[in-house]
Structure 1
């Protein structure tokens, strides 16, 4: 898990990239990322898909099932 100062140092660069790239869909992996990106204006007109973090999926069998279920939904939308 990144330290708060690390997230806050990198977040402006990510938000700027999202503005430049302007994707229709943004896939957010894990609760930490979901927490720090929630409510960001740059995402207001995007479809945001929250997914279990891959590290959690590797450690916990119930999360692994959820991870693959969420990824399959994304693949169907692609």
Structure 2
């Protein structure tokens, strides 16, 4: 996640993954939520960058929104494949 330390990325990713799993109705554990949130942050930043949206680097809120967007997208894709 752009501009965040590893600790901040874990915290933001954990919350984003937890919220995404609640939105999508999945029952995952804390570690899975953190992983989905961090990877979702990477995917979310990439997808938003393709759409021309440039988030402020280092903003916890902006990176949290990108992580939530990416995590929901990832869960949606995985559920579609199952």
Bigger Rg, which one:
1
The structure that is strand-richer by fraction is 1
The structure that is helix-richer by fraction is 2
TM-score by length of 2: 0.30
TM-score by length of 1: 0.31
Highest relative contact order (Cα 8 Å, sep 6+), 1 or 2?
Answer: 2
